[in-house]
């Protein structure tokens, strides 16, 4: 808004554009500003507006207790944010201040949402494990314990339901067979446990690498001085090379900034 006001004063002084033409340009430029206040709101019914500033503790926000996390983690509305940035890039009125806000928002949005999706994913051992929270050895012990309890209770029900129809010797044979199958499965899963541990650790290391790359990029935007769009673009490319996926709109925005001087 400060840039728009400054542009209005500059045009009044220089008379570069006619009043009607300049008013139309300002109207077009103000659309992203009008839409931006909805970009962090939970719904379009929330008209309170939100003010964006650089966040210094993204991972701390994401890993906070649920009641605190609900207050600290922004409710990004991805379609609205990408629409705002698209309108801004396509417009004619630009400023370094707006560039910084939009780049910061795009990076923060991806960082927050990715971190939240992996660090706060629901984790139910055996049934629905979270890859980030998996502990193969602990899960193996828990899984075998639950299998033993379920098998024992199931066999007791089978015993009392069937003892009137089958000889007791047959029921003991069934019990020994089930016990043998349990130990066979436990032995096989124990043999496979090292490879499973390696696979889980590899995935967790990859996630850690992604988070480190995203955190490093976002920390580069914390400067109070001018920021090089080329440097940020190189960090984006570096993180993309290891597997991080950034919004296409961010790449377009950085290209637009570099075409206008490359600093924001």
| Residue 159: how many other CB atoms lie within 10 Å | 15
Residue 191 covered by a domain? yes
Number of folded domains that form the chain: 1
Residue 211 covered by a domain? yes
Residue 20 covered by a domain? no
Tokens representing 101 are: 């806000």
Residue 49 covered by a domain? yes
- Give the residue carrying structure tokens 């009043």: 19
Structural contact between residues 41 and 136, judged by C-beta atoms closer than 8 angstroms: no
77 class by beta-carbon count within 10 Å (0-12 exposed, 13-18 middle, 19+ buried) = buried
| Residue 32: how many other CB atoms lie within 10 Å | 21
| Strand, coil or helix: 123 | coil
Domain limits at 59? 37-264
Cα–Cα distances (Å) from 25 to 8, 36, 138, in that order, read 10, 18, 63
108 class by beta-carbon count within 10 Å (0-12 exposed, 13-18 middle, 19+ buried) = buried
Q: Which of 73, 148, 153 minimizes the C-alpha distance to 114?
A: 73
Residue 6 covered by a domain? no
* pLDDT at residue number 254: 95
CA atoms of 136 and 195, how far apart (whole Å): 10
Residue 23 covered by a domain? no
Residue 19 covered by a domain? no
Low-confidence ranges of the chain (pLDDT < 50): 1-6, 8, 10-11, 17-19, 21-22, 41-49
Residue 77 covered by a domain? yes
SS3 content of the chain, % helix, strand, coil (to 5): 70, 0, 30
Residue 133 has, within 13 A of its CA and on its CB side, a CA count of 15
* pLDDT at residue number 32: 55
Buried b (16+ CB within 10 A) or exposed e, 235-255: bbeebeeeebebbebbebbbe
**Most distant CA atoms of the chain, gap in Å:** 105
């Amino acid at each position: 808004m400060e840039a728009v006001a400054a542009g209005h004063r500059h045009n009044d002084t220089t008379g570069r554009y006619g009043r009607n033409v300049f008013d139309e340009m300002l109207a077009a430029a103000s659309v992203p500003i009008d839409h931006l206040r909805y970009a962090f709101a939970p719904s379009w019914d929330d008209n309170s507006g939100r003010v964006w500033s650089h966040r210094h503790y993204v991972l701390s926000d994401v890993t906070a207790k649920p009641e605190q996390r609900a207050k600290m983690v922004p409710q990004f509305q991805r379609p609205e944010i990408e629409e705002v940035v698209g309108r801004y890039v396509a417009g004619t009125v630009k400023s370094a201040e707006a560039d910084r806000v939009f780049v910061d928002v795009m990076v923060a949005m991806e960082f927050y949402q990715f971190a939240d999706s992996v660090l706060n994913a629901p984790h139910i051992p055996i049934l629905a494990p979270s890859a980030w929270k998996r502990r193969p050895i602990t899960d193996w012990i828990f899984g075998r314990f639950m299998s033993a309890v379920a098998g024992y209770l199931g066999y007791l029900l089978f015993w009392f339901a069937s003892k009137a129809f089958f000889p007791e010797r047959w029921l003991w044979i069934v019990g020994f067979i089930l016990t043998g199958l349990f130990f066979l499965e436990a032995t096989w899963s124990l043999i496979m446990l090292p490879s499973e541990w390696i696979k889980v650790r590899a995935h967790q290391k990859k996630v850690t690498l992604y988070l480190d790359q995203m955190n490093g990029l976002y920390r580069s935007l914390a400067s109070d001085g001018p920021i090089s769009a080329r440097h940020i673009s190189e960090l984006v490319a570096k993180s993309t090379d290891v597997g991080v996926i950034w919004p296409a709109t961010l790449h377009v925005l950085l290209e637009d900034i570099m075409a206008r001087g490359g600093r924001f």
